[in-house]
Amino acid sequence: MSAESIVIKHHTKNIQGTVQLTGSKSESNRALIIRSLSNGLVEIQNLSEAADTVTLEAALKLAENAGQENTLIDIGPAGTAMRFLTSYLNLIPGKFTLTGTERMQQRPIGILVDALKDLGAEIHYQNKVGFPPLLIEGGMYQSKDQVTIKGDISSQYISSLLLVAANLEKGLKLEIEGELTSKPYVSMTLAMLKECGIESEFSTNSIQINPQAYQSTTIYVEPDWSAASYWYAIVALAQNAHIVLPGLKENSLQGDFAIIEIMSHFGVNSTFKSDGLHLEKSDLQSDKTLFDFKECPDLAQTIVVIAAALKKEVSFTGLETLKIKETDRIAALQTEIAKFGAALIADGNVYHLKTEKVHDPGNLKFATYEDHRMAMAFAPLALVFDQICIEDPQVVEKSYPDFWKHLSNQNFDLLT
């Protein structure tokens, strides 16, 4: 969808049907790195159709076929690709310039680069120290087998290092300094490696992966729980709703599996059946007032918007990493929910949602800040207000390219 904006309405406010979600972007991106490092031993099924995954797959093919000349790899807005390739390219003979969009060049990468340099990598900043673009001289000689990295930063830095660890001549012992943020994503990385024969030892503050070979296997990518979260939002905001999401696992590796418990406090029942996960609207109310997103930060925008629309006075913690995402997601949320009277007020690391002034001002238009999750978090508000407008709707292609088609299938009117 290339329209500058899209107007969304839903006349009945009732939702019922089945939605087949794309494969998990988080699992797919890890699987692509693993496949590339396995020398053909690992295959992938149900790979995500998300733009980020398509971008990473193309970048890996470009790197694998590169010669000795400096190869330019532009990953656009794909943050996971930037983090994973920053480690991966050091193992590939050749010279690479790794860059992205203007916003990507404002997102920090220095902590990961410092860790790789400690291990022996040759990486040079091409503009501002600590930020892309990077010049990476591949075929690194590993000088040490242990490195320390802060735990309260993006877990993608840690996963990036873990994904290449078994291919390092000396392996890797990763010491984690402080509390580990988004731990489920690190656990996902280790579980996927184990599925392919790579063993690890994970204690409280360290992870050890020795040099070892991959085993022949096929990774099946589960549907995306992050995408599922928007259907939870739709069920919560509808008058009546029953949605079936096939293929989701009751023992998922994905951190956003936490949406089940979180949304039980917003009137959504979850039941696993033979045909998939059933989501149903419930009248049950919860008195929970504090929600922690430390281990599932990608759910935060969705829950803040739902809570604001339902006029719930609740508070949130674990939002620290939101400021370095596709946009400053906290600032973006504060600006956009203010358009219908809600306020998100910072009190140290706690954010309080104030909803006493929530109303329908009409002509609501929400900016998306080049952020796919802003578009999908605000779209369900068409079930609360008469109509809304979402700017730059094509941003959803980054993680959920069929989002608008799936909304149309559930009788949302989409006008461009």
Q: Which residues are part of the catalytic machinery?
A: 298
Residue 399 has, within 13 A of its CA and on its CB side, a CA count of 27
Q: How far apart are the first and last CA of the chain?
A: 9
Strand order in the sheet with 95-99: 70-74, 95-99, 134-137, 122-125
As a whole number of angstroms, the distance between CA 319 and CA 107 comes to 16
Whether the upstream peptide bond of residue 133 has omega within 30° of 0, thus cis, is: yes
**What pairs with residue 389 in β-bridges?**
7, 365
Q: Which residue has the tokens 């300094």?
A: 177
* One-letter identity of residue 239: Q
- Yes or no: say if 136 and 96 are a contact pair by the CB < 8 Å rule: yes
As a whole number of angstroms, the distance between CA 55 and CA 113 comes to 21
Strands 388-391, 206-209: pairing is: unpaired
Expressed in percent and rounded to 5, the helix, strand and coil fractions of the chain are: 40, 25, 40
Residues 6+ apart with CB under 8 A from 287: none
What b/e readout covers 189-214, taking b as 16+ CB neighbours within 10 angstroms?
Answer: bbebbebbbbebebeeeebbbbeeeb
Tell me the residue ranges of DSSP E strands in 230-341.
240-245, 268-273, 276-281, 290-292, 315-317
Strand order in the sheet with 413-415: 364-366, 388-391, 5-9, 413-415
- Yes or no: say if 133 and 97 are a contact pair by the CB < 8 Å rule: yes
- Yes or no: say if 383 and 240 are a contact pair by the CB < 8 Å rule: no
Strands 70-74, 95-99: pairing is: parallel
What b/e readout covers 221-252, taking b as 16+ CB neighbours within 10 angstroms?
Answer: bbbbbbbbbbbbbbbbbbeebbbbbebbeeeb
